[in-house]
Homo-oligomer: A and B are copies of this chain.
Amino acid sequence: MDEEYIEKVKGLIEQKDTENVKALLADLHPADIAELCNDLEPEDARFVYRLLDNETAADVLVEMDEDVRKEFLELLPSETIAKKFVDYMDTDDAVDLMRDLDEDKQEEVLSHIEDIEQAGDIVDLLKYDEDTAGGLMGTEMVTVNENWSMPECLKEMRMQAEQLDEIYYVYVIDDDERLQGVFPLKKMITSPSVSKVKHVMKKDPISVHVDTPIDEVVQIIEKYDLVAVPVIDSIGRLVGQITVDDVMDEVREQSERDYQLASGLSQDVETDDNLVRQTSARLPWLLIGMLGGIGNSMILGNFDATFAAHPEMALYIPLIGGTGGNVGTQSSAIIVQGLANSSLDAKDTLKQVGKEAVVASINATIISLLVYIYNFIRFGSAATVTYSVSISLFAVVMFASIFGTLVPMTLEKLKVDPAIATGPFISITNDIIGMMLYMGITVLLA
């Protein structure tokens, strides 16, 4: 999908050359059509969109950027959304789309869905929290009864499979709809046809509960290398399935979010977002940083006399502040990542702080010594600055490490996302505390 191609499409749209645009679209995967629509002007995108058949149109809508899709849906009447899109979508995608609409429009769309069973599934799914397995699952899957014979089972599977885009596993339930086993697809072609399903299935399959948080679902799929995981309710009934493609989107989103938080961006922002969004994602942390900087100027303002006596003290303000920021960022990043991939448990706070203190003291000793040698050569050993800067550096590194460890672990315990404690939060706080330590130590030593 290069620029040349997009220009060609634009040219055809301008000439209203419906036939040739249609021919081009016929060769494209829905994901590529969505990408094309994202790159076109809204009006041109709508022109392309009207040329698609209903099924493709629904697939393209699922693949579109969320922002573009939201704008798009606002222009459409509820009946069109229901009949042209939702009817052709899997329930998990339909629910995703419905969450973009306000409640009134949701009701309207639901009332226009012709397939009552699908409408019921969507209503049920909308009740689950977006961040749980229930909020991510779909209801499209192949299920068979454990007491069926293999030929019965194959016949039923054939019927159910006709309706589905893709089959990952076949789920086996008992007469009360409780999940009893999983039936890998390969068994369908390798198992003798005489036995009952329950003798061929894999018992006690890995499953998640409707209330399982998405983070955990992601970990389970990753750990056990699954392509899908069944979702059960509180009495063990099979209610849905989560597929690996949705989980992969979650992994991507989660890591992008952590990265953005660590970089001082307060909301999801992309290079092609408009100016308002670009500014509002950045300004909050810049303003907090500004307040931190003004706070620092107030603190330093109390030490006129110290600066007057030792004017060279001012030269090391960037070194002390910068080192505190760097050390704190490193420590907090290691903790946030450990908590995110579950290699670290919030219960081990004390042990982790102890370990961090040892690492910090090694780094602090090396840096303070090197700076001491430099200042010894520059100012001589008698100058206040020579020992005051090194002692302050040591103290700042120790403090920043322990603070950078303690804060995210405490947040995790309080069930607050620890990622907010990285990046600018850590560097601004450490900058201020660093200045206080520096000034305090200098006054004590001078």
Contact = CB atoms under 8 A, between A and B. Distances in A.
Interface of A: 29, 31, 35, 63, 154, 157-158, 161-162, 164, 166-168, 184-186, 188-190, 206, 221-227, 244-245, 247-249, 251-252, 255-256, 258-260, 262-265, 269-272, 275, 278-279, 282-283, 285-287, 289-290, 292-294, 296-298, 300-301, 304, 307-308, 311-312, 314-323, 325-327, 329-330, 332-335, 337-338, 341, 343-344, 352, 355, 358-359, 362-363, 366-367, 370-371, 374, 397, 422-424, 427-428, 431, 435
Contacts of A427: 322, 325-326, 427
State the main secondary structure of chain A at its contact with B. Answer: helix
Given A186-B166, A314-B317, A343-B272, A259 B260 contact: no
A285 B323 CA distance: 10
Given A63-B223, A289-B322, 8 more contacts: A31-B223, A270-B338, A282-B327, A285-B330, A290-B370, A292-B318, A300-B318, A318-B431
Contacts of A290: 319, 323, 367, 370-371
A258 to B, nearest CB: 6
Contacts of A279: 359, 362-363
A358 B273 CA distance: 13
B323 A325 contact: no
A289 to B, nearest CB: 5
A370 B294 CA distance: 11
A58 to B, nearest CB: 14
29 contacts: A31-B223, A157-B189, A158-B190, A166-B186, A166-B227, A185-B185, A222-B252, A225-B245, A227-B245, A256-B341, A271-B352, A271-B355, A272-B344, A275-B362, A283-B366, A285-B326, A286-B367, A287-B366, A289-B323, A290-B323, A290-B367, A292-B322, A297-B318, A300-B318, A304-B311, A317-B317, A325-B427, A326-B427, A329-B423
A371 B251 CA distance: 40
A298 to B, nearest CB: 8
Nearest to A312: B301
A278 B314 contact: no
Contacts of A344: 271-272
Contacts of A337: 256, 259-260, 270
Task: Give the 4 A-B residue pairs with the shortest CB-CB distance, closest first.
Answer: A293-B319, A263-B333, A255-B255, A297-B315
Given A190-B161, A225-B245, A293-B323, A263 B330 contact: yes
A326 B252 contact: no
B184 A166 contact: yes
A363 B286 contact: yes
Contact of A319 (B224, B225, B296, B301): B296
Nearest to A34: B223
A322 B227 contact: no
Contact of A271 (B262, B314, B334): B334
Contacts of A35: 223
Contacts of A31: 223-225
Contacts of A327: 282, 286
B323 A278 contact: no
| Residue among A161, A256, A325 having the largest count of chain B Cβ atoms under 10 Å | A325
A4 to B, nearest CB: 12
Nearest to A185: B185
A185 B185 CA distance: 7
Given A251-B248, A252-B341, A366-B283, A263 B265 contact: no
A367 B289 CA distance: 10
Nearest to A292: B322
Contacts of A272: 343-344
Contacts of A319: 290, 292-294, 296-297
A11 B322 CA distance: 48
Contacts of A322: 289, 292-293, 296, 321, 325, 427-428, 431
